Amino acid sequence: MKKFRILSLAMAAALCFALAAGCSGGNSGSGTATTPDPAAPETTTGGSDAAPETSAGGSDTAPTGAAFKLGGTGPLTGAASIYGLAAQHGAEIAVEEINAEGGAIQFELRYEDDVHDAEKAVNAYNTLKDWGMQISLGSVTTKPCEATSTETYSDRIFALTPSASSKAVIEGKDNQYQMCFMDPNQGSASAQYISEKKLGTKIAIIWKNDDVYSKGIYQTFTEKAKELKLDIVSETTFADGNDTDFSVQITDAKDKGADLIFLPMYYQPASLILAQASSMGYEPKFFGVDGMDGILTLEGFDTSLAEGVMLLTPFNADATDDATVSFVTKYQEKYGEVPNQFAADAYDCVYALKQALEAAGCTPDMDAAALCEKLVETVPTITFNGLTGDGAGITWDSTGAVSKSPKGMVIQNGAYVGME
At 63 the pLDDT is: 63
Q: Over the stretch 225-260, which tens digit does the pLDDT of each residue have?
A: 999 999 999 999 999 888 899 999 999 999 999 999
Backbone φ/ψ region at 64: left (φ over 0), alpha (ψ -120 to 50), beta: alpha
SS3 82: helix
Longest dimension (CA), the chain: 65
Q: Is residue 16 part of a domain?
A: no
What pTM was estimated for this model as a whole? 0.78
Kindly state the average pLDDT of the residues 100-108. Answer: 95
- By residue count, the chain amounts to 420
Distance separating alpha carbons of residues 375 and 54, to the nearest angstrom: 29
Query: What is residue 30's predicted lDDT score, i.e. its pLDDT?
Result: 33
Summarize pLDDT for 366-411 with one digit per residue, the tens: 999 999 999 999 999 999 999 998 777 899 999 999 998 777 889 9
Q: Is residue 306 part of a domain?
A: yes
**Do residues 285 and 344 both lie within one domain?**
no
Question: In terms of domains, do 170 and 189 share one?
Answer: no
For the chain, the first-to-last Cα distance in angstroms comes to: 24
Q: State whether 272 and 413 are in the same domain.
A: yes
In a domain, 369, yes or no: yes
Q: Are strands 407-412 and 232-238 parallel, antiparallel or unpaired?
A: unpaired
Nearest one of 53, 151, 128, 140 to 90, comparing CA atoms: 140
Q: Grade residue 46 by pLDDT with cuts at 50, 70 and 90.
A: low
Q: How far apart are CA 149 and CA 166, in angstroms?
A: 11
Torsional sign, CA 408, 219, 199, 277: positive
Q: Please give the residue that has the higher pLDDT: either 62 or 397.
A: 397
Same domain assignment for residues 87 and 161: yes
Question: Is 12 part of any domain?
Answer: no
What is the pLDDT confidence band of residue 351, given thresholds at 50, 70 and 90? very high
Q: Is the dihedral of CA 331, 64, 134, 361 positive or negative?
A: negative
| Domain identity same for 236 and 258 | yes
Domain membership flag for residue 34: no
pLDDT at residue 174 tops 60: yes
Q: How far apart are CA 234 and CA 203, in angstroms?
A: 7
Q: Are residues 134 and 76 in the same domain?
A: yes
Say if residue 175 is in the same domain as residue 233: no
pLDDT at 361: 97
Average the pLDDT over each of 71-80, 173-182, 383-392 and give the range with the smallest value. Answer: 383-392
Which among 144, 118, 122, 87 has a CA at the least distance from the CA of 350? 87
Question: Which H or E run includes 112?
Answer: strand 107-113
Three-state DSSP class for 322? Answer: helix
How confident is the model over 287-316, as pLDDT tens digits? 998 888 778 878 899 999 999 999 888 888
DSSP E strand stretches across 123-213? 135-139, 158-161, 176-178, 203-208
Looking at the fold, whether 295 and 268 belong to one and the same domain comes out as yes
pLDDT for 290 equals 82
> For all residues of the chain together, what is the average pLDDT?
85
38 in any annotated domain: no
pLDDT tens profile 204-217: 999 999 988 899 89
Output the CA angle 149-153-157, nearest 5 degrees: 95
Q: Are 37 and 108 in contact (CB under 8 A)?
A: no
Q: How many domains does the chain have?
A: 2
**Same domain membership, residue 156 and residue 217:** no
> So what's the pLDDT on residue 73?
98
Taking the C-alpha atoms of residue 221 and residue 199, their distance in angstroms, rounded to an integer, is 15
For 115-250, list the strands marked E by DSSP: 135-139, 158-161, 176-178, 203-208, 232-238
Query: Does 21 reside within a domain?
Result: no
**103 and 235 together in one domain:** no
Residue 92: what pLDDT? 98
Q: Specify the CATH number for the domain of residue 218.
A: 3.40.50.2300
Instruction: Tell me if 416 sits within 8 A of 5, measured CB to CB.
Output: yes
Q: Which of 135, 42, 157, 37 is closest to 92 using CA atoms?
A: 42
The phi and psi torsions of 203 (rounded to 5 degrees) equal -115, 135
**Residue 156 pLDDT exceeds 70:** yes
At a CB cut-off of 8 Å and minimum separation 6, what does 324 contact?
A: 316, 317, 387
Based on the fold, state whether residues 197 and 163 are members of the same structural domain. no
Is the model's pLDDT at 6 over the cut of 90? no
Identify the pLDDT of residue 375: 98
pLDDT at position 34, please? Answer: 31
11: in domain: no
Give the whole-angstrom CA distance, residue 416 versus residue 290: 13
Please state the rounded mean pLDDT for residues 128-137. 98
Residue range of the domain that includes 229:
184-316+409-418
Does position 134 have pLDDT exceeding 80, yes or no?
yes
Q: Which residues contact 342 (CB under 8 A, 6 or more apart)?
A: 8, 17, 83, 86, 87, 90, 140, 162, 163, 293
One domain, residues 92 and 148: yes
